[in-house]
Amino acid sequence: MQDNQGVTLVDDMLWRGLIQDSTDPDELRKHLDGDAITFYVGFDPTAASLHVGNLMQVVTARRLQLAGHNPLLLVGGATGQIGDPGGRSTERQLNPQDVTAGWVLRIRDQLTPFMTFDGDNAATMVNNLDWTGELSVIDFLRDVGKHFPVNKMIARDVVKNRLETGISFTEFSYQLLQANDFYELHSRHDCSLQFGGSDQWGNITAGVDYVRRRGAGPVFAFTTPLVLKADGTKFGKSAGGATWLDPTMTSPYAFYQFWVNADDRDVPHYLRYFSFKTREEIEELEKATAERPQARLAQKELAFEITALVHGEEEANQAVMASQALFGRGSLSDLSADTLRAALSEAGMTQVRGELPTVVALLQEAGLVKSGGDARRTIAEGGAYLNNERITDPEAVIPESALLQGRFLVLRKGKRTFAGVERV
RNA sequence: GGCGGGUUGCCCGAGCGGCCAAUGGGAGCGGACUGUAAAUCCGUCGGGAAACCUUCGCAGGUUCGAAUCCUGCACCCGCCA
């Protein structure tokens, strides 16, 4: 598998830094750069939507499919009910089964646009509940459990880290389920490769070992690196919480802004991990950033590409347009009614009727502050703006003349949080 | 089963009868500097315009007055069995 410039899939992935750990690197290369194979990557339904932290896996699966391999996208209806003990110090709160089942459907829908489901190497959705749900306790303990030495299970980092603080048998068993998934997918779909985030390495190798113990295989695996941020904070969090892929949970505008605001030092990594641009294009962007960082060219290109991938090109264009209108140099009063409406809708629009309220009330209604005190504080700190002019009097009633195009107000908190108001 | 320790604001963590809406740190938020970046510095961080109201696991009680004392309940963590 290689493109017309002779760069193989593995070469490209190595350059991008997508391979953190792998079983036998030479074998992995032969496998991935050879004939089409079937691979799987799993997503557990632990929330109603995937977030940018999951994007690495989604995009990598797409990369492999574009290179000609056959994807199995597993949404863990079974494992999602058990809970991966990894990456946390306390027991998970189990969600009701019907909630998890609902999330499975949503996440399946969410994954769909990233992959192709027809053609020679069509992707397939699978759910481990299909083979785990009916497994009896006796069968599970005899057929699966017998292959897992507890001493090895305990030695795995994720379990070891929890031994002090506590881990239930439920979560302790998680690795058996994931290992069994690999075996089942190997038997049912001839799946020979699993990948996942580096936090999944233990679970993944448990699967590789298990397949071998059952006399099948060989199967291969690799993990993608944890996305790190230069400032040491967690990737994916931005003002107020996670950045979700679901447009009702994180608007396309906010999603676009998430990427635009990426730290200069992180952008080169993000481009490699998430973008489908070529190596030459990426290196070009890096050069541009080094020369004129304030132009944020790389951030903008990255933000557009990822937003278009996740939300479609139309939404991405809207986000760009809104960003230009709101952050642009020009005066807001120069914007047309249509542009204002569209831009503010992207940022979040609130409607008010009749008399315009005080700025404190308006800031609250627009959702920029969480209480009246918060609004007053923000104004006192000089962080509240109406139509890009700093608000100084919290009790001021907004005059009719402030309405842009006779009906819009642009509220801003701090440097970059906008909200629109439309008087109807 | 026994003994001891713990449960405080988003998180960590002081407080141990009034001066406590509760020290300190982190996160968050705002300002300055910039580039919608980083670093740094400053400010802010329950609700209320205020009076004042609601918070310190839950429910009662003692007291003029409790996060602080007592009783019961729940959960967590050690040590012993």
* ipTM of predicted assembly, 2 dp: 0.84
- Give every CB contact of residue A22 below 8 A, 6+ residues apart in sequence: A28, A220, A221, A222, A223
Indicate if A318 and A342 belong to the same structural domain: no
Look up the protein residue whose alpha carbon has the minimum distance to the C1' of B37.
A263
pLDDT digits (tens, 9 = 90+) for A334-391: 888 888 898 898 888 999 888 888 899 999 999 899 889 999 999 999 999 999 999 9
A296: nt with nearest C1' to CA: B35
Is residue A63 in some structural domain?
yes
- Given a cut of 90, whether residue A235 has pLDDT beyond it is no
pLDDT for A71 equals 93
pLDDT exceeds 60 at position A4: no
Domain that holds residue A196: 9-224
What number is the average pLDDT over the span A123-132?
A: 92
DSSP per residue over A302-333, as a string? HHHHHHHHHH-HHHHHHHHHHHHHHHSSS-GG
**Considering the domain boundaries, does residue A392 fall inside one?**
yes
d(CA A102, CA A339): 37
| CA dist., res. A362 & res. A103, Å (int) | 35
What is the model's pLDDT at position A88?
67
The answer to whether residues A85 and A141 belong to one domain is yes
The nucleotide whose C1' lies nearest the CA of A230 is B38
Find out whether A101 and A77 touch, Cβ atoms under 8 Å: yes
Cβ(A324)–Cβ(A413) below 8 Å: no
Cα-to-chain-centroid distance, residue A388: 32
Gap from A373 CA to B65 C1', Å: 29
CA A172 to C1' B78, whole Å: 23
Distance CA A421, CA A424 (A): 9
A189 forms bridges with which residues in the sheet? none
Q: Which CATH number fits the domain that encloses residue A267?
A: 1.10.240.10
A157 shares its domain with A51: yes
Footprint of strand B on the protein (CB under 7 A): A 164-166, 230-231, 233, 239-240, 257, 260-264, 293-294, 296, 299, 323-324, 327, 370-374, 376-378, 381-383, 413-417
Task: Kindly state whether residues A66 and A196 are assigned to the same domain.
Answer: yes
CATH classification at residue A70: 3.40.50.620
Using the structure, give the distance in angstroms from the CA atom of A90 to the C1' atom of B57, rounded to a whole number. Answer: 18
The yes-or-no verdict on residue A234 having pLDDT over 90 is: no
Assigned domain for A246 exists: yes
pLDDT (tens digit per residue) in A140-193:
999 899 898 888 888 887 777 777 666 778 888 888 999 999 999 999 999 999
Q: Let me know if residue A230 belongs to a domain.
A: no
Give the pLDDT of residue A334: 82
Q: Could you tell me if A158 and A44 lie in one domain?
A: yes
**Res A94 pLDDT > 80:** no
| Same domain (yes/no): A338, A363 | yes
Same domain for A251 and A177, yes or no, is: no
Find the Å distance, CA of residue A376 to C1' of nucleotide B44: 11
Please indicate, yes or no, if residue A231 is contained in any of the structural domains: no
Lowest mean pLDDT across A72-81, A89-98, A167-176, A353-362: A89-98
Structural domains in chain A (count): 3
Q: Is residue A398 part of a domain?
A: yes
